[in-house]
């Protein structure tokens, strides 16, 4: 995938097609190009090959879980500098701690406010300029 017009790219690693399509819509409405990977292994491959600007990663994935993926991304010299945001239904303190220790820059529980928190995090990181809700 080639980046057009210097647009920023987000890799979504999410096994739920419904969740992935919702995220793709929210992110594209805010000017980000998106790539979707359905599991951790595909997400690792896409990250290495396409070098996205940010990775939005679920924890509960088939095969390799998101914590394992995050750790491997941060150990790889080609992907270690890509910011990772964990967006997941888990909000247990130990899982949050594990996610941040694995190298994620943010841990966002999937709830009624997750889109707003995600967009604000992307704005602060300089990946989007203004937050728009579709």
CATH code for position 86: 3.40.50.2300
Residue 98 lies inside a defined structural domain of this protein: yes
Residue 65 lies inside a defined structural domain of this protein: yes
Q: What one-character DSSP code corresponds to residue 8?
A: -
pLDDT digits (tens, 9 = 90+) for 64-73: 999 999 999 9
pTM: 0.90
Which residues, including other chains, have CB under 8 Å from residue 130's CB and lie 6 or more apart?
Answer: 30, 123
Q: Structural domain tally of the chain?
A: 1
- Between residues 6 and 28, the one the model is more confident about: 28
Say what the alpha-carbon torsion angle 93, 99, 103, 105 is, to the nearest 10 degrees.
-70
Q: H helices of the chain, where?
A: 17-29, 40-50, 66-75, 93-101, 114-124
Residue 62 lies inside a defined structural domain of this protein: yes
Residue 64 lies inside a defined structural domain of this protein: yes
| Cβ pair 72, 44 in contact under 8 A | yes
Q: Between vectors from CA 11 to CA 8 and to CA 15, what angle results, nearest 5°?
A: 155
Question: What integer pLDDT is reported at residue 91 of this predicted model?
Answer: 75
Residue 44 lies inside a defined structural domain of this protein: yes
d(CA 5, CA 45): 24
Residue 70 lies inside a defined structural domain of this protein: yes
Domain containing residue 116: 16-124
Residue 133 lies inside a defined structural domain of this protein: no
Is residue 49's pLDDT more than 70? yes
pLDDT digits (tens, 9 = 90+) for 76-95: 999 999 999 999 887 788 88
Residue 5 lies inside a defined structural domain of this protein: no
């Amino acid at each position: 995938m080639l980046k057009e017009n210097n647009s920023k790219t987000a890799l979504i690693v999410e096994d739920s097609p419904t969740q992935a399509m919702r995220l793709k819509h929210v992110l594209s409405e805010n000017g980000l190009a998106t790539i979707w990977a359905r599991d951790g292994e595909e997400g690792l491959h896409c990250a290495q090959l396409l070098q996205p600007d940010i990775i939005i990663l679920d924890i509960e994935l088939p095969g390799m879980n998101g914590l394992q993926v995050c750790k491997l991304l941060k150990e790889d010299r080609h992907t270690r500098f890509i910011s990772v945001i964990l967006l997941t239904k888990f909000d247990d303190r130990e899982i949050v701690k594990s996610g941040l220790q694995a190298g994620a820059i943010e841990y966002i529980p999937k709830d009624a406010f997750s889109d707003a928190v995600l967009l604000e995090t992307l704005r602060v990181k300089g990946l989007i300029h203004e937050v728009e809700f579709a």
